[in-house]
Amino acid sequence: MMRLRDIAAMLGGEIDPQGRSPEAADMDIARVAKIEEAGQGDITFLANPKYTKYLSQTHASAVIVARDLQEPPPPGGMLPVLVRVADPYVSFLKVLVAMHPPGPPLPEGIHPTAVVAASAVLGEGVRLGAYAMIGERTRVGARSMIGHGSILAEDVQLGEDSVLYQNVTVREGCRIGSRVIVQPGAVIGSDGFGFAPRADGTYEKIPQLGTVVIEDDVEIGANTTIDRATLGETRIGRGAKLDNLIQIAHNVVVGPHTVIAAQSGISGSTRLGSHCMIAGQVGFTGHLEIADRTKIGAQSGIHRSITEPGRAYFGSPAWPQREAFRIQGAITQLPDTLAEVRELKKKIAELEAQLARRAEGES
């Protein structure tokens, strides 16, 4: 439980009592909740304009809103106490964490079933779960946590304050930075998909001799796979966020602070710029260059490089978003257009038959 005054101070916000007495700032907040479900003693937030209608309907005691929000009170009543902040969504997340602090995923210490190679180096406060394995010459930074059944193979480097949840595999020679979060089942450093065709129609495996580098503050979702480079590095830039079930192929570079949603796949040697936003099930062919701040809609297919930064694309194959919407709109009209074309062809055939008969009669 927290006082509303303390919450506002933590957020750098201002309390707008909506006509109530100044003592409203001292009310106790017991829970956080969604705006349409909140009740007395709850605090919620309003960031998306489509939920504005709930502001006059909610039973929440307080609502976190933007500083410039202007919403008249409902007839015969008043709005909840408002906490005006610069960013309601980020502020709500801070309150959520403050009131429900997450516990550590592992207890202190090293589980007796964990296996640590003699040449491995563990920093101060490292936690290892049951059946975790740390390979030869691998270094784990201070306060990092390795979950149950996870494997760090030989010559891996893991920075400080990182968390690898259950059954994560990090293959030999990969480098992971500090404050990285890897969700269960992710595989980092598996072989890239490289095979050379032989004359007899079979395939020769191309050795995958490179590594994977994951920079600081990256988050990697469950069952995501990041392949090692054929030569050199596959690199995930600082602050990038990868959802579940994503495939990152060999020698791919994902720029800093780029976010990628679930089931997307990036083919070999493609480079994504910084601050890109990639929706779910997007596919990239190989050897592309994607400019900074590019936005790509769900299920799009990217088959050529994007060189102009800050543009949005959609479709398969992808087009600039406005043009893609026009194409999609035209596609929906195709059945009617086809019916019209068939009718016109029928009428033309009838006219041609009439002209033919007239010509025969005149002759």
Q: Among all residues, which ones are annotated catalytic?
A: 250
Q: Do 176 and 159 contact (CB within 8 A), yes or no?
A: yes
Question: How many residues does the structure list for the chain?
Answer: 363
Q: Shortest CA distance to 34 belongs to which of 25, 43, 24, 26?
A: 43
| CA 63-68-73 angle, 5° bins | 55
Handedness of CA 156, 187, 114, 162 (dihedral sign): positive
d(CA 227, CA 114): 26
- Between the CA of residue 343 and those of 31, 333, 339, 350, 356, what are the distances in Å? 65, 16, 6, 11, 20
Q: Shortest CA distance to 241 belongs to which of 274, 271, 211, 268?
A: 274
Task: Give SS3 for 157.
Answer: strand
Cα end-to-end distance, the chain, whole Å: 102
d(CA 82, CA 65): 7
